[in-house]
Structure 1
Amino acid sequence: MSVARAQADMALRRCLRGEALEREALLELLAVPPASDEALYLRHAAHKAALALDGGRAYLWGALGLDYTPCPMNCAFCSLGEAWKLIDAPRSYTETEIIAHARAYVAAGARFVVLRTTQFYDLDALCGMLVAIRKAVPGGYEIILNTGEFDADAALAVRRAGGSGVYHTIRVREGRDTAFDPDAREATMLAAVRAGLRLVALVEPVGPEHTDQELADCFLRIMATGASISGVMARVPVPGTPLGDQPPLSLARLAQLAAIFRLAGGGRLAGVCAHPAALENMTAGANIVVVEKGAIPRDSAPSEQDWQTFSAAGAVRLLRRAGYAVRDGDGREIEDNLCMRNGETSMTATEAENHVQIVRPEHCGARVIVLVQPEERRLSLPRPKTARQLLEALGLAEETALVARQGELLTPDRRIWPDDELLVRKVASSG
C-alpha cells in the first residue's frame, strides 16, 4: 500500500475516533495529486466517514441574495464590487419576495434558509426579516445570515429575532484579495459562537493559485473559532473582476479538498459543504448542497431562477445518488420524483471505455483485479434499487462483476435510478 493511502487510512481512523488532524497531516493530504488514484482513495475514505458520522444524512442549503447592489469593499473575486462597475440595474428584494423564497425553500426540503447580503446591509432590517419569516413560514428549518461584521450585542439580537446561525469566514488571502482585516472577521465569528449561533465557515474562494499552506492555515483558523459546518467553495471566475481571467479550480481538486476537510475535522463538524455542487464532491465527504437565487457574487447578473438551473430537486437527487438520506429541518426524509417505484423497467448495459475505470482492491474492498470484455445485455425485470440487487437479478456474484455509472464504480449498496446508463462488467477475481 502506498504512503498516501496509508495516510488516508490513518486520517479516516482518527476522524472516526474524533481526532482532528494537525497541520503536518493536513499538508501531507493536500500534497496528493488531485487526479491520482491516491486522491480517489482519499475521497472514498472521506465518503465512508461522512456516512458513518452523519448517519447517512444530508441537507439542502437554500440561499437568497437580498441585494444586487454595488459593495464598496471591492473583493477581487466578487461581481458586486463597486469598482468593477458590473451592476447596471441595482435590485433589492422586498420582504414579501424574501418570505416567498423562504417558503419555497422550506417546501422543497431545505434545512438551511440563508439570507445573504452585501457588507453594509442594515442589521436591524435583517432582524425584522427574521421575525417576519418565522411568523409566516412554520417549520424546524434554520435561518442563517450571511452579512457584514457585527459585535456581541448584534449577535444576541440576531438570535432573539429567530436567527439560527451565521455564515462568516476568513477568506483565503483575506486582506490581500479583500479589503478586510482578518482579525475583524474572526472577531465576528467568535461573537456569533458566544451568542449561541451556529457558525458556518468554508475555506473559500479557492483557486489553483492557492498553496497547500494557505489552505491548511485557513481551515485550521476556521476550526479554532468553533465552526460546526465547514468545507470548501471554489472561486468562480467572473469576467470584469480582477480575478476574472484566472483559471478555475479543477473539479478533482475541489472534491479532494472536500475529502480532506471532512477527515481533518475529526468528527467535530455537523456537516461538510462543497460548492459548486457535483457528484464527485458528494462522494468525497460533502453532505450539504447549496442552491441559490437572487444576488450572487459569482455571477454578473441576479438570478431570478435557480442559479445555473441547479434546483432543490436536482440537489436532492444528487445527494441520494451519493447514498445519503436527505433530511429537512424537521428530520423528515425528502423523496424525489425519480425514486424507485414498483414495476418493470428496461436497462441497457453498453460498452463505453470512457465510462469505466480500472479498479484495484484498495479502491473498493472488492476482490477485483482485471476488467474483461462485458456482454451487452438488455434487461426486463423488477426494478432493482441497488447495484447488489441488479447483479443478483443478472445471476452474477459481487466477486465476479461490477457496476459502473459515468466513470464511478458503484458499491453494492449504492442506489440506482431508472434513467441511469449502467455498465455491468464481468471481472476476474483474485480468488
Structure 2
Amino acid sequence: MGETPSPHSPPFSKYRWLRLLTYLLTAYTALGIALAGSDELHTSYGLTTAVALLTGALQATAIVLALWRPTPAWTLSLTAAALTALLARPHLGTVSTPGPDWPWTTPTLLAHMAVLLLLALRVRIRLTLAALAVTTLTTYVLQGVIGAQRYSSTGVIAVALFAVTVLVGTALRSRSEARTQLIEQTTITAEERARRTLLEERSRIARELHDVVAHHMSVISIQAQVAPHLVENPPEELKENLAGIRNNALEALTELRRVLGVLRSESPDNPGNPDATEGPQPNLARLAALIENTRAAGLDVVTRLCGETRTYPPGVELSAYRIVQEALSNALRHAPGSSVRVEVSHQSDGILLCVTNSRPRRPVQPSPGSGHGLLGMRERAAMLGGHLSAIPNLHGGFTVTAFLPKTGTPRQPRPLRPDFPRPDIYFPPLPDDDPHHPQPPTGEPTP
C-alpha cells in the first residue's frame, strides 16, 4: 500500500512543542500496552515471559512506527496480533470451560486501534478501508480455526471498534484537509483582491498622469516650438533656450509614457513583459547626455571617472542613472548657479556615486518638497543591497553618496562599510566654496 503522509498532518502540528508532546504520549501509550499485554499473555494464556515480552514489544514498535510509516506499522501490528493469537491457541479453555478472550486480547485490541487511527489520519481513505477489510477478514479466519465454545469471542466487538476508529480518523483527516483548503483559498482570494485593488489604483494614477501631466508637457513643448516665430529677429540665445525647453519637454513625455506603461501593466516586475516598458531604459551610457542637459539649464557640472569602466546588470545601471538624475535635479532646484561635481567610481565590488554641489550663487526660490526624492533614492539603493547617504557638507552645499553592488541582488540592508567615504574628507571643496566662511545649508533637497 502507498501512503501520502504530510509533515504537518494530524497528529502532527506545525508547533515543535506539540509534536514532541505527541511523540511522548505515543511512546508512553506503547510502553503501557506492551507491559499490560505481556503480563496478560503470561498470566492468562500461559506463555513464557520471553515470548510474552516479544509479542508486546512488537505491538509497541508498531504504535511508534505508525507516527512516520503508518502502512508498515499496520502490517506489523496485524502480524503481531495474529502471531499472538496462534501462540495462545494451545492454552485456550476446554470444551466445557470457555477460556479467555480470543483472538483479540484487550492490550492487542487497543494497540491495533491506535495503529488504525494513525493510519486513517495519514493515508488516503481507500487505503484505510482496505486495511480495515483485511483486519476483519483475519479476525474471522482466526475465529473459524477453533470452536467458539473454547474461548470468549472478541471478534465482533473488535471489528466494531476498528470500524469506529477508522471512521473517527477519516473524519479528522477530512476536517483537517478541508480547513487547509479553506485557508489556502482564503489566502489566494485575499491576494487576488489586493492585486486587483493595486491594479485599479495604478490605472487611476496612470489616467491622472496622462490627462494632466502629459497634457501640460505637450503644451509646453508646442509653445516652446512656436515662441521663436512670435518674435521678430529673436536672438540665438533665446532660440537655444527655447529649443532646450522643447527637448526637455519631449524627453519628459517619453519618460512619462514609460511610467504609464509600467503602471498599466499587470506584471510590471516581470522584466520580460513587453508592456512594462516602452523603449530602452536609461543606463550609465546616458549619463553624459544627462550632465550636458544639466549644464544647459545653468549649472556648472564637472565629472570625474575612476576605475575601469564595466557593464552592470540593467537594474544597477538604471538605479545609478536615476540617483544621479535626482541629485542633479535637487541641485538645480535648491542651489541655482552652483557648481556640481559628479564622481563615478568603478570598484571591485560595485559602483560608487557621489554628487556634490556648492552653495547657491543665486537666490533660492521657495520650493517646499515632500521628501519623496531622497526616499526614492534610498529605496533604489536598498533594493539592490547598497546604501545611500544625503547630507549637507561643510561648505554650505549638499552631497549625495551611494554605493550599489555589482551583482544588484536584493538583500537585507547592511550597515555602512568602514571604508564608505565621508564626502567632506574624500572630496575636496569645489572652487567657489569658502571653507572659512561656510554658508548655512539650503536645506535637504527634495523633489
The bucket for the TM-score relative to the shorter chain is under 0.3
TM-score, normalized by length of structure 2?
Answer: 0.20
Higher Cα radius of gyration? 2
- Please state which structure has a larger fraction of its residues in helix: 2
- Please state which structure has a larger fraction of its residues in strand: 1
Larger RCO (alpha carbons 8 Å, 6+ apart):
1
TM-score, normalized by length of structure 1?
Answer: 0.21
